[in-house]
Each structure stands twice: as C-alpha cells, then as structure tokens.
Amino acid sequence: MMELGYLWRTGVPSQEMEVDGLSSEVFEGIGPDDLMSHGSTLSLTPLIPCTSAPLRRSLPQSIPLRSRNETKATQAPSIPNPFPELCSPSNSPVLIGSLAGKSIPSEKDSHVVQVYGEDTLGRSLSVLSGATARDVCQMLVQTAHCSDQESWALIELHPSLGLERCLEDHERVVDIQSSWPADGSTKLLFRKNYAKYEFFKKAKLFFPENMISDSADVTKGVTSSELVQTLLQSGTCPEIQGFLHVRELGRKAWKRVYYFLRRSGLYCSTKGSSKEPRHLHYVADLADLNMYTVTNSRKLYTAPSEHTFCVKTCSDRTRSQDMKLLCAESEQSRTCWITAFRLFKYGKQLQCNYQLSQSSVRQQVSPRDAKVRETEDSLVAMDFTGKSGGRVIQNAKEAESAEQEEGQAWRKREALRYSLPNAPQGSRPSSVHQTQPWFHGGVSRCEAQRLIEEQGQVDGMFLIRASQQHAQCFVLSLCYRLKTKHYLLIPYEEADRKYYTMDDGETVFIDLLQLVEFHQINRGILPVRLKHPCVRVAL
C-alpha cells in the first residue's frame, strides 16, 4: 500500500519517489505484516539522504503576469487592427452601460437628452457625457434657427412641485439628468433668461443696502455699492441678512425667522435678529444645496406671498419632504437671496462664465452693429443747431424737450415717407407685427406677466399682445424695476389714415413695428427704452 510522498521500505531495495517542492518522507519497517507489531516504533525517514543542511519548507511563489501585448510577441509579427473603433469602448457606437459588465464612463459616451420649448414640444439631442448647459444651448440655437444667440438658458423644471432652476453654463447636463427620479415629470426647458448675469452690470439693484450685513470689518468707511462692486470683481459676495418666512416641517404654518447667508453656509437666528454666535443655528452647507424658485406657491404650499424659493440637497431625490421652503417679503429680496447663493456657491466660476458669454457675443456682432449697440448711460443729448458744431445738453429739462422734438420730427419723416404717391402701399401691412418675436397674440395679462418673470425681469423687457377688453387695441407690457407695467395702444385716425398712439395722439405711429423701433431708440413716455423682447421659440 503506497501513500503519496511515503513508501514502505522492505527487504527489497526501496525506490525513492520525489515531489518537486515538497519534503518526501517514507515509513521504515520490515513489511506490511509487521505493521501492527511495530506500530509504536515506526519512524519517518526522508527519501533524500540526510545532510547537514536545514529542512526546506514550502513557500508561496509569485507568478508574474503577462500583459496582452506581450503574449506571443515573438511568435508572430503584429497585424494592424482593421476595425479599431469596434475594439475601443470610448469610440464604439454601443454604450458601455449597455454591456454586461460595468466599467468607468467616459466623457466621449453619447446620451440622449430631451429638451422642451415654450410650446410644450420637445426635441431629442445626442450629447456627450461632458456636455455643459452652454453647449446644449448652442446646439439648440443652431437647430431651432434662433434670430439671436444671447441670453439663452436651460431650465430644470419640476412641474408637480412647482420648482424651477436655471442651470449654470458650466454644469453638466447628463449629471443633472441622472439625479432625477426615473418615474417623475422633471424636464428641461429652453428659453430666455436675461437676468442670468445682470448683477455684474447693475449690482446695486440686486443687493439692497438693508440686506447687506455690516458685521464685517471691510464695510468700515465703504458704501454698500462700493463694497458690492469690489467683492464682485474678486468673485465673491457680501453677507446677506433679512427676515424670511419658513415653513415648519410637517406643518402648514409659516414662521418669520431672521436668516444669514455667508460663505460658510446658511444660518438662522434663534433670538430675533441677533448675530451672536450662541444665537446662530447652522442650517446647511451651500456646497451641497441647490436653490429653486417656487411658482404658484400660494396654492401649492399656502405661502404668505408668491416670492417663494426653496433649498434642497443635490444628492437626494426631489421630494416635498426634503425641501426647505422660504418666502421673501418682496421680489427684490428673493432675487438678492438667490443671486447671493449663486455667488457664494460658484464664486469665480460665474465670473468666467460671464466673460465667456460676453466674448462670444462680441465675436458674433459685426463692427457696424457694435457701434449701434451703445449702452443707455453712454447716450447723451446733443444740439447741432449752432454754427460752431454740436454741443452736449447739460440741462435735464432741455435734454428731455430735445428728445421729444426729435421724436416728433422722426414721426413726421416716417409718416411723410409712407404718404408719398410713389410709396408702395403693401410695403408694410398693418399685420406686420404678427411676424415679430415680441408679439404674443391674445395672451392674458397674467400670462404676459408670467412670461416676463420667467425670462428675468430686467429693465426694458417687453412684449405686445392683443387687448382682451378693448377691441382693435393692443397692450405693451414692459418690465421696470422688477415690476411689469401695461400701456394701452389705441388706434387713431387722422386724414383718413390709421395710426397707433399711447399718449392720446401726441405721438402717433403707422404700425406697431414703427412704435417698437422708435422706443428702442427713444424712451418717450416710457420709464425705460425697449431693450429685450420676450421670445418664445418652437423646437
């Protein structure tokens, strides 16, 4: 009977059996019959003759791995791969995620993104994993053939909760879309947002003095406007403070609490408006939060006013239980809180986004159009009636009267041009306004105000709509200082010709297009010139 590594030794010369890497041993005895009688005196003797060297134990041995490129490298010459795109997952038309095994996603992977327009119709786009909101907007501007390429934005909309947020230009669209619930109604909208970087141009309107905290030492001897401008240039924001109505968890009641917004996070005071550290309660970290504006908040959440916004963590699914609802006392206050939150969270990145958008606009505008696009502050009243050339009108009343005289003269020249015998009668029909982007048909007053609010509420935003109360009349809806004003455009007949007027016939216009063109250059009776038309694009 033989056992592996052991051999019975009898009178016949024993044969030695060795196993590589193992210590082989044998039993020493007379024979198999003597096993029982000599069982207590059996000894183990190694097959290999004993030497003075120590016994070698078995040790683990590492086996070097060969890379695929080294396998059979010397056996056959390398043959070039005729289909490299099928062997490279990053270039393959099949997504990595569709394979059985999971691997690290690449920025070159393509994904399908659904974007909706103002007409509730959507468009599917194939974008890369690293595509930003700015990249998607540029694609939509080209595919939708938009007349202008400025101030477009992607809006993240949660209809069931009444939440919406403008995506920053540097945010990745695929990452945002992957955080949505699979069975939800969340979607992306493509529309104008003129107020995205307006605070860089008019910081004083976005940061009221009563909301800037005076606890910092940097405010000593510095006005609030100078402080804001200095901080914006460095890519930061002053501390914001003020009362907000907050909805208590699990209840419908709202409580008025004093809040502070700092770089370190959002805080609330447990004792009135006290700023002492022992009275400050830490609410959340800004890096892990997103801020949304809330629409129809009175009906959905019984809010004290419509100036409602909410903060929620980026990682959690969008549920009503995870939201912290806050209600400001005015639209300017809500705008200030949201703007400060963006600056504290993104800092210099917002400034880089703004500079990139401005550089792209300058490249798109021709030199001739650049001369026409002057800011309102750079326009001055001039008097060219003298013999010595033009002079700047310093008196405000004189400048206003000169503006009115120029408007009257401009109207007379246009009216004379269209009343000439050889003037084409159908060159500008009365329905020419229906083809303009600023005309929105018969939308209601509330709908017009909602459109202006959604697209930024900056000074000079406007649209024209048909009046629902007065036949053959139109309404000019204009935004000024975060409020929407409505001006009735009345038809006016003179010398058997039809005109439109806003000031009881003092200034008349042949059609609505002439009225808009005039007020884009001259303010007239309006508080501000017409600058930004509300546009609705069909995708």
Strand partners, 46: 25
Quote the DSSP letter at residue 511: S
The fold adopted by the segment(s) 398-415+433-533 is: SHC Adaptor Protein (3.30.505)
- The C-alpha atoms of residue 168 and residue 339 are separated, in whole angstroms, by 12
Tokens describing residue 32: 């198999």
Q: Cβ contacts of residue 290 below 8 Å, gap of 6+?
A: 165, 311, 312, 313, 314
Spatial distance between the Cα atoms of 531 and 522, rounded to a whole number of angstroms: 11
Residues 59-93 pLDDT 10s:
565 555 554 444 444 445 556 666 555 554 444 44
Q: Does domain 110-192 have CATH number 2.30.130.10?
A: no
- Runs of H (alpha helix) within 106-193: 133-143, 173-178
Pairing of strands 110-116, 43-46: unpaired
Beta strand segments in 231-340, E: 240-247, 254-262, 265-269, 280-284, 289-294, 308-313, 324-327
Burial-class residue 402 by CB neighbours within 10 Å (0-12, 13-18, 19+): middle
Distance CA 110, CA 130 (A): 9
Distance CA 98, CA 100 (A): 7
| Cα 471 to Cα 8: distance, rounded to the nearest angstrom | 121
CB of 300 within 8 A of CB of 319?
no
Mapping DSSP onto H, E and C, the string for 342-409 reads: HHHHHCHHHHHHHHHHHHHHHHHCCHHHHHHCCCHHHCCCEECCCCCCCEECCCHHHHHHHHHHHHHH
Q: Which helix (H) or strand (E) holds 127?
A: strand 122-128
Residue type, 168: E
Do the domains at 110-192 and 198-354 have one common CATH topology? no
pLDDT value, residue 143: 86
CA distance 81 to 108: 21
DSSP for 185-201, written as a single string: --EEEEEE-TTSSGGGT
Domain ranges across the chain: 1-48, 110-192, 198-354, 398-415+433-533
**CA–CA–CA angle 245, 249, 252 (5° rounding):** 65
Q: Are 478 and 530 in contact (CB under 8 A)?
A: yes
Helices 331-346, 348-364: axis angle to 10 degrees equals 100
Question: Quick one: tokens of 137?
Answer: 């907007």
**Chain segment 244-302, per-residue pLDDT in tens:** 999 877 778 999 999 999 988 999 999 998 989 899 999 988 888 899 999 989 999 99
**Residue written as token pair 């690290």:** 104
d(CA 271, CA 257): 9
User: Which residue stretches of the chain have pLDDT < 50?
Assistant: 1-51, 67-75, 88-104, 216-219, 366-378, 384, 387-389, 416-417, 419-427
Q: Which of 220, 268, 262, 265 is nearest to 243 (CA)?
A: 268
- The phi and psi torsions of 424 (rounded to 5 degrees) equal -65, 130
Q: Residue 388 corresponds to which tokens in the numbers above?
A: 């010595």
Q: Quick check: 196 and 151 in contact, CB under 8 A?
A: yes
Q: Which of 448, 485, 488 is nearest to 470 (CA)?
A: 488
For 286-332, where are the E strands, in sequence order?
A: 289-294, 308-313, 324-327
**3-class SS of residue 271:** coil
Strand 308-313 relative to strand 324-327, pairing: antiparallel
Pairing of β 8-9 and β 25-28: parallel
Q: What is the pLDDT of residue 155?
A: 95
First vs last Cα of the chain: how many Å apart? 88
Return the number of other C-beta atoms located less than 10 Å from residue 345's C-beta.
19
> What residues have CB less than 8 Å from 459, skipping those under 6 apart?
202, 479, 480, 481, 528, 531
Report the amino acid identity of residue 166. Answer: C
SS3 state of residue 145: coil
Identify the pLDDT of residue 178.
87
Q: Which CATH topology does 198-354 take? A: PH-domain like (2.30.29)
SS3 339: helix
Q: Which amino acid is at 515?
A: L
